[in-house]
A and B are shown apart, each in its own frame.
Chain A
């Protein structure tokens, strides 16, 4: 069984939903990103305490016609990409300071 991953929304970005888009702006350089539907689902669920596998099972599998293993693999790749950009934090343990993110 693979190591569980936990996601937490970065606190140095501002996120706003405009129409059906979730837009993210970075304080450091005012750069702007639009998240696709799946990324937005991860953002919304990234409370720092819920394992990614549980988010996938709860949010992604019922929505998309995809098996859990494939969905988890794709979601992991997406989460790591978002972490690389600084939009999410990804860790192997629940985030201690996740109280406000839930």
Chain B
């Protein structure tokens, strides 16, 4: 009788939330360690523990992991959530902090599971993941959101040398003791490199548009909420949580300035952030 394969684990900490992955595959752990570099490190008491089973891409007996479906489904079943797509099938019970993941051996699959997990966790805590780059300058974080090609990566590339890019793709916003903070994330976009694992009070959110000059304009409250809502990452088809996400967006837009930033793509745009409170 053979002994069970040894379990390897990796702790990934994003936004102060520690997730432990346990798997028999050291190769997958190594892959994830590279993918989430800067955000890994052993912790004694992780907040959530997932047992990860790697399913070969050519394993066709699994209906859920068809490798084809790109629709993300996030379903609540009593205390348990199920996160599904063509390349992963995860269950998770927030109350116990335990979950399982069956996925294809791709860093993108686990990346997706972690993003979804954080959207659900943050929704319950007043925070959110937002399609936005975020840059920390002089101890404050500035978010830049907008449609594809609006300049989220560009503006983070143009940041001054003493600035820190928290992410060029997916901003992590937490509400802590009544104030909003932006955290660095390993979720990378065009830069293809993880953000810096830092945290700063959120100073402002900017809706980007490229133009012939640099200017910042205020938004009305409803437009600010629409801007936030249009860029929140959220998948769950769940009435209560959806209402919570809506309320979180309203609260964020009321507490943090949301502005329209038109910019010409060179470094001078960053001069605005020394003069705009």
Contact = CB atoms under 8 A, between A and B. Distances in A.
Interface of A: 12, 14, 16, 18-21, 23, 25-30, 32, 34
B245 A30 contact: yes
A77 to B, nearest CB: 25
Given A14-B243, A16-B246, A23 B237 contact: no
Q: Which 3 A-B pairs have the closest CB atoms?
A: A14-B243, A21-B222, A27-B242
Nearest to B235: A30
A61 to B, nearest CB: 27
B250 A16 contact: yes
B209 interface: no
Interface of B: 220-222, 225-226, 229-230, 232, 234, 237-239, 242-243, 245-247, 250, 253
B245 to A, nearest CB: 7
A59 to B, nearest CB: 22
B229 A30 contact: yes
A26 B250 CA distance: 15
Contacts of B221: 18-19
14 contacts: A12-B239, A14-B239, A14-B242, A19-B221, A19-B222, A25-B242, A25-B246, A27-B237, A27-B239, A27-B243, A30-B229, A30-B232, A30-B234, A34-B226
Contacts of A27: 237-239, 242-243
A30 B248 CA distance: 13
Interface centre among B237, B245, B246 (most CB of A within 10 A): B246
Contacts of A32: 226, 229-230
A19 B222 CA distance: 7
Given A14-B242, A16-B246, A28 B226 contact: no
Given A28-B237, A34-B222, A16 B247 contact: yes
B225 A18 contact: yes
Contacts of A34: 222, 226
A66 B49 CA distance: 64
A33 to B, nearest CB: 10
Contacts of A29: 237
Nearest to B253: A18
B74 to A, nearest CB: 12
A49 B246 CA distance: 28
B242 A23 contact: no
A40 B234 CA distance: 27
Given A23-B226, A30-B234, 14 more contacts: A12-B239, A14-B243, A19-B221, A19-B222, A21-B222, A23-B222, A23-B225, A25-B229, A25-B246, A27-B237, A27-B242, A30-B229, A32-B230, A34-B222
